[in-house]
Amino acid sequence: MRTILLAEPNPAFAGMLLDELKRLARYQIIHAKTGAEAISLCEQYKPRLAVVDGEIPDIDLPDLLRSLRAQVNNLPIILMPISPEAVPPEPAVDGFLFKPFLVTELTTLINNTLGPDPEADTEPTPAARLTGPLKLASDSPLLARLQANGAITPPLILKDDVRRAVEKQIEMMSRALRDEPVFLAQQGKVLVMVPRQSQPATNALARVVLKAWTSNDPSTEVLRFEGNAEISRYMLYSVLVRPELSLSVALRAQIPLPIIRRVSRNTASELARILPQ
């Protein structure tokens, strides 16, 4: 099993990355909260690759990168900066991933840098589907044919009694996750959100979810880190209730990923039972 050094000062951000990297890629991950700790762990464990946040507080970034390579000659380094301006000209890094990003994007970058994991499972790619919004008139014959063969999904209309039941489930999920915003969305449109957010915030979250699902590898969940600064950074966790219908939560609070995953999947199962087919 390959050893990866993760140098990330934010404990919540680091915790999510650690869980997902272990789950998705079968790496042995060693975590450093500071530059000094990263250098010490690099000397001790001799990792195959280092993933370094661009905002390590206790040491200048170029000095940290040089020190890591002093411990492991030619150590491949992937940088997680907030902007292109944060990438130092020297020493050169082997890759960088600007925030926000998907965990699968980081895994792909690691695999491309080190070479694929021989133990990784591979699955056939499913047939392509239209996932983005398609602008067709409601009486269009093409729209009817696309909906009939499953290429696109017709808009979900929630009757009052169903909406109340859905809102109750989403409110329960939000409370279980420290009142963070939870929402049900279909193809970039938020159907229900608890607690309610401003319209610009709602639209922004809907765009993030749509982009995450349309760019993600075939999966039943998405984990995406958003925000370009410590104060605005959050994690988006999203699961499918059924094709084209996602249940998502935007988290700033530090909550263990297994709890987020369990609460989200339980709620998605209840929604699948409640919603009309």
Mean pLDDT (whole number) for 127-148: 44
- How far apart are alpha carbons 272 and 243 in whole angstroms? 11
pLDDT at residue 15 in the model? 81
* 194 and 249 inside one domain: yes
* 10 and 84 inside one domain: yes
Confidence bin at 164 (pLDDT 50/70/90): very high
Q: Over 90: is that where the pLDDT of 201 sits?
A: no
Percent of the chain with pLDDT over 90: 35
Residue by residue, DSSP assigns 145-167 as HHHHTTSS-PPPPPPHHHHHHHH
* 164 and 96 inside one domain: no
Contacts of 218 (CB under 8 A, 6+ apart): 123, 125, 126
Residue that terminates a domain, selected from 114, 146, 173: 114
Confidence bin at 230 (pLDDT 50/70/90): very low
Range(s) of the domain holding residue 53? 3-114
pLDDT at residue 146 in the model? 42
| 18-70 pLDDT tens trace | 877 777 667 889 999 999 999 999 999 999 999 999 888 889 999 999 999 99
Domain count, the chain: 2
Q: What CATH number corresponds to the domain at position 240?
A: 3.30.450.30
* 107 and 211 inside one domain: no
Q: Output the average pLDDT for the chain.
A: 80
Q: Are 68 and 43 in contact (CB under 8 A)?
A: no
* 88 and 176 inside one domain: no
Answer whether the bond into residue 100 is a cis peptide, omega within 30°. yes
